[in-house]
Amino acid sequence: MQMQAINAHSIPLFSLVNYVSIAATVVTCFLSVILARATLRYAEATDKSLALAREEFEREWSPELHIKVERISGSEARIVVTNLAKISVLLQLMQLRKISQAMPFERCFLNDPLVGGMSWTQDIGQRILLCTGPDFEGLFAASVTFYSSGRMFRTDWFRFYIQVGNGQIVRLNPTNVPARRVRVLENRKGPERRREFAQDVTAGVAATKHPVT
């Protein structure tokens, strides 16, 4: 009788142990799913942080110049080129043109270093008057070509509204900032960039001299 009673009580005990094991397995799976989702969220947050850090690094160390032309007097104006990045550049070429002209009217070859966060200035009043003529009212633009990290870059054309009368600069105001960042024109490590530079500079002249029929 006693053995039967023990056997009768032992069966529910074994069943309870099995239920506890099943419950532990379910809880373990549930916690594993929670930890997996938390890991995925942490990985996504880490990827976003790395992307932001990379973008900030590229913004700080990618070459970026800002060009400003300001009126000093009726016969003189000054161009101010500011290096917005941390990396230093070597200015190579300054170009001026009227918006109505396809090619630059005035070019000035340079060889001046520009440290990050600093500005470079030059008086260009006579160059502007040569570009516009004694009487002109409209838009003209300025662009700068420079070397940085072994590659040649060129800024987009910064536009300015100018009014010239009787050979005197009456008004000179900026109109907008360029829509695009600086572009690579030449890479000293390969010939591909040099072809892009030649095409970029001479494409307008070639299209004008040899129109497609």
Q: What per-residue confidence (pLDDT) applies to 14?
A: 60
Q: Residue 67 has which token pair?
A: 């060009």
Q: In this predicted structure, which of 5-9, 16-20, 86-90, 191-195 has the lowest mean pLDDT?
A: 191-195
Q: Residue 100 has which token pair?
A: 């109505």
In eight-state DSSP terms, residue 198 is H
Contacts of 174 (CB under 8 A, 6+ apart): 68, 69, 158, 159, 160, 161
Q: Residue 10 has which token pair?
A: 């032992």
Q: How confident is the model at residue 196 (pLDDT cuts 50, 70, 90)?
A: very low
Q: How confident is the model at residue 199 (pLDDT cuts 50, 70, 90)?
A: very low
pLDDT per position as a tens digit, 96-137: 998 887 777 889 999 999 998 899 999 999 999 988 889 999
| Average pLDDT of the residues of the chain | 78
At residue 17, the 3 state secondary structure works out as: helix
pLDDT per position as a tens digit, 35-89: 888 888 888 888 888 888 888 777 777 888 999 999 999 889 999 999 988 889 9
Q: What per-residue confidence (pLDDT) applies to 176?
A: 67
Q: How confident is the model at residue 180 (pLDDT cuts 50, 70, 90)?
A: low
User: How far, in Å, CA of 85 to CA of 71, rounded?
Assistant: 26
* pTM of the entire predicted model: 0.61
User: How far, in Å, CA of 157 to CA of 154, rounded?
Assistant: 9
CATH of region 64-209 = 2.60.40
Q: Which pairing describes strands 89-98 and 106-114: parallel, antiparallel, or unpaired?
A: antiparallel
Contact 70, 46 (CB under 8 A): no
Contact 164, 132 (CB under 8 A): yes
The sign of the CA dihedral 145, 147, 148, 150 is positive
